[in-house]
Structure 1
Amino acid sequence: MEKNLFNNETAEKIIERVKQLGAESSGLWGKMTAEEMLMHCNSCNREILEGSRGTQKTSLKQYLLRILALYLAPNFKKGIKSEDHHIIGHKINNLNFEEIKDEFIDLIHQFPLNKKELTLSHPAFGNISTKQWGIAAYKHMDHHLRQFGV
């Protein structure tokens, strides 16, 4: 069975993994701190759940990349550049790590509760279905949790 964040069991497994993450956790690759990674994931997940991006025409390249990334590749590739508005960098000011982690958990809990169809475009995959958003969101969270060894 493919892993999809809209599945309650899959969402709970992601939550159990993030609970192992601490403010002092170091990444195995990349430049983000654990705080920055969680804030990046929170930003992406809010955008998915709120549907704050419109639709656009899907190119053949996006369609093929979607098939490869969501169904054929076991994991997302390391080093893929994120959209600028999801790059947190050093924008963290006086935020509590546990609060950021709690927001991550709350957002993950919202995926299985979502009953609306998602109609936003993915920047790399074009227009994708709600189910495909769940797969992409799972692979994204899995990618970053593996980045921090959890």
Structure 2
Amino acid sequence: MALPDIFTKAVTDKLIERIDMLTGESQPLWGKMSGAQMLAHCCVSYEYVYDNTHKPPGKLMKFILKMFVKDKVTTEIPYKRNSATAPDFIIKGDRNFEKEKVRLTDYVRKTQDLGANFFDGKESHSFGKLTIQEWNNMFYKHLDHHLTQFGV
């Protein structure tokens, strides 16, 4: 079953509605992250695309990621609860909830504004060139997983 199209305004608006339902007191249904940490964690996918704040993997690691991780991230198969997390995505310490909420919302809107064609064949930080569908699945599935984790 195809995942909702994150490049459409209707899907983006629904995701932002879910993000807006979170509060600083929201608790996860599973896992250990606080709401602010989860929002910061979700921003990492977008930081890879827009901010150049993370060191890209070397050639060998990129090969390994493409061979063993890419399909878990870019297909429609949902993430399992408490799955392993890449080091860049591990958020330690306190974060400002409102700041992270605004950052994530801005990234989601920017992605929708740029549109699917911007991502067609675009090189990802870890997996090489991805199709529009792979970008969509990666973005949508990750957000949906963590918003569900927090009951929204």
TM-score by length of 1: 0.78
Give the equivalent residue in structure 1 for 2:29: 28
Provide, for residues 61-115 of structure 1, a one-character-per-residue CA deviation record: whole Å limited to 9, x for no partner.
456546xx623x3x211111221122112153xx3x2222111111110111225
**Long gaps (5+) in structure 2:** none
Query: Equivalences for 1:79-90 in 2 at 5 Å?
Result: 79-90=82-93
Percent identity, aligned pairs only? 26
**What is the CA RMSD across the aligned residues, in angstroms?**
2.5
Q: 1:6–1:131: 8 Å Cα contact kept in structure 2?
A: no
Question: How far apart in 2 are the matches of 1:132 and 1:12?
Answer: 21
Give the length in aligned residue pairs: 139
Q: Could you say which structure has the higher helix fraction?
A: 2
Question: How far apart in 2 are the matches of 1:64 and 1:86?
Answer: 18
Q: 1:29–1:147: 8 Å Cα contact kept in structure 2?
A: yes
Q: 1:22–1:34: 8 Å Cα contact kept in structure 2?
A: yes
Give the equivalent residue in structure 2 for 1:46: 47
Shift, 1:133, TM fit: 1.3
**Long gaps (5+) in structure 1:** none
TM-score by length of 2: 0.77
The answer to whether structure 1 residue 106 and structure 2 residue 111 are counterparts is no
